[in-house]
Amino acid sequence: MKQYLVTASEMKQYDYNTIEKYHIPALVLMERAALVTVEEIQRVWGNIPGRILVVSGCGNNGGDGLAIGRLLLLEGCDVTFVLLGNRENCTEETKRQIDILMEYKVQIFSTMQNGEYDIVIDAVFGVGLSRDVEGIYLDAIKWMNRTNAHVCSVDIPSGIHADTGEIMGDAVYADMTVTYGFRKLGHVLYPGTIYSGELVCRRMGIDEHSFLDTKPFWYTHVGYDSRLLPPRRPDGNKGSFGKALLIVGEHCTAGAAMMAAKSTFRIGAGMVKVVTAVENRESLLQFVPEAMLLTYTDSTTGEAEEDNVRHGKFMQELKAAESWADSILIGPGIGMGERAHEMLRFCIEESSLPLVIDADGLNHLAKDMQLQELLTDRKEQDRIVILTPHLGEFARLYGCSVAQAKEGLTDYPRQLSEKLHCIIVCKDARSVVVCPGGEQGYLNTTGNAGMATAGSGDVLAGMITGLLAQRMTGDEAAVAGVYLHGIAGNLAAEKETETFMTATDIIDSIKDVILLQQNRIGQSGLEKRYHEKLSKSLCRD
């Protein structure tokens, strides 16, 4: 299921569109937001009246909090209200909420009230926060983080930047966050996702109709969708399901070749040919007996003429393999030698096939401006080329530090994509996929820390290459590969734990991923539990 992720400015625009275009008053939206939040509080913590503290600011987020507190008061809860800041600076909607509370003879305090509470409603700052919190607001956040009460944040935990997930000085560590309309980038980017606790997105009057002509740039996938996998023709043969050429693994990196080849098969490619050092032959045939091999040797005989003849023959065989294939992967474990550089140049300059460049291929690319110019200036601008760097490789390609690359995760990949005319898959705890000239970008929310293990990137590169071989478009293959790779990692962690799992476990879980995407639920208790976990993330009307 596709879900949009919005920035603060996009959300404000959609709020404005709803009010102006569809004539739904702001106070009505505020009341509906309060109502669905109370429903979620009751779902999680029950209907028994308890002691509630509402901590509000002067913006509309604070008005939401006051309305939530009033509804809980009417449900029989013992509610204490705190409004931080000058009431004269409140928005008109929040002033109206204050007036309503006054009619109910409710006292609103201006400072934090010590006491024992069951639930604290955090409504200090919403999505508009753009500078570090300080003063009474910082003190209030620290107080909420010290309390033993359950904390429910309204829209976003106070102190989290809605666009980046950054902590603005300090932030509320919520047990649950109820957000409205759409999830914000800050909810899913780290560390904001940690501070959000259980994230619940509720519809309260703002939906896709509010986009008008301005769709959000970012989206993610949640749950199951068989359209993420290429269809299987019932009358097909091994050639029908794609032929992938993998240029992977020099003599000391057989593992990279093995992982990439196995995952290419597992995602559905019909045939795989591996170009690798001759030393890897036996290992590959044992691990992936289905693969065909084209091997080369880096050893020299001392006779330059004989070496040249051998090399010339190998390049002819490589060209023949390229003419046979439907997609190419180059990079995992190929090393930084001259032969690897020449093969990369061949793939960029002489082939027109869909191409995935990973690992050492990216390091060659980062060091050689001429190779980058071949990508930038190539005549076939519609040729699919996908780069799959982790943050370190991305930083070398882009020309920045790793810290800057992480900070610019939703910006820098878009710039590099436009520069090199390539699809960029920037791999991190939250990976992103962007296309040159693309109107939307994908931010992945599947996966876990256990996937930070040797070979995981080789598995992803193989999966994307296998999907390309099955004639998916570049953006489809990149997004599906990243998403399904993350789910495979989650299933592997369920089976083996994040600490114990390896890249081989991710490959072994691809079968379960395919079963899930085909909606063949109930194959095991494991799949059922994972289905339930994913379902919790869905927007509920």
- Return the CATH architecture of domain 2-213: 3-Layer(aba) Sandwich (3.40)
pLDDT, residue 394, reads 98
Q: What sign has the CA pseudo-torsion 488, 489, 492, 494?
A: negative
pLDDT, residue 450, reads 97
- Cα–Cα separations (whole angstroms), residue 350 to 82, 322, 344, 358: 68, 10, 10, 18
- Residue 481, token pair as written in the block: 């590969």
Query: Shortest CA distance to 157 belongs to which of 493, 149, 535, 144?
Result: 144
Residue 380 pLDDT class (50, 70, 90 cuts):
low
- What percent of the chain is modeled with pLDDT above 70? 93
Would 2-213 and 236-297+307-535 be classified into the same CATH topology?
no
Task: Tell whether the model's pLDDT for residue 9 goes beyond 90.
Answer: yes
pLDDT digits (tens, 9 = 90+) for 263-308: 999 999 999 999 999 999 999 999 999 999 999 986 544 566 666 6
- Rounded to two decimals, the pTM is 0.93
What is the CATH number that goes with domain 236-297+307-535?
A: 3.40.1190.20
- The whole-number average pLDDT for the span 514-525 is 64
Q: Cα–Cα distance between 531 and 237 in angstroms, integer?
A: 32
pLDDT, residue 317, reads 96
Q: Cα–Cα distance between 374 and 148 in angstroms, integer?
A: 60
Tokens 């900070």 sit on residue: 407
Tokens 């703002």 sit on residue: 206
Alpha helix locations (H) across 275-381? Answer: 281-287, 304-324, 338-349, 360-367, 369-377
Task: Tell whether the model's pLDDT for residue 310 goes beyond 70.
Answer: yes
Q: Which letter, b or e, does each residue of 329-341 get, where b requires 16 or more Cβ atoms within 10 Å of its Cβ?
A: bbbbbbbeeebbb
pLDDT digits (tens, 9 = 90+) for 430-451: 999 999 999 999 999 999 999 9
**What are the residues facing 53 on neighbouring strands?**
80, 120
Spell out the domain ranges in the chain.
2-213, 236-297+307-535
Q: What is the mean pLDDT of the chain?
A: 93
CA angle (137, 142, 145) in 5-degree steps: 130
Q: If DSSP codes are grouped into helix, strand and coil, which group holds residue 503?
A: helix
DSSP letter, residue 87: G
DSSP letter, residue 133: -
Task: Tell whether the model's pLDDT for residue 470 goes beyond 80.
Answer: yes
Q: Which letter, b or e, does each residue of 352-379 get, where b requires 16 or more Cβ atoms within 10 Å of its Cβ?
A: ebbbbbbbbbbbbbbeeeebbebbeebe
Based on its alpha-carbon atoms, the radius of gyration of the chain, rounded to whole angstroms, reads 27
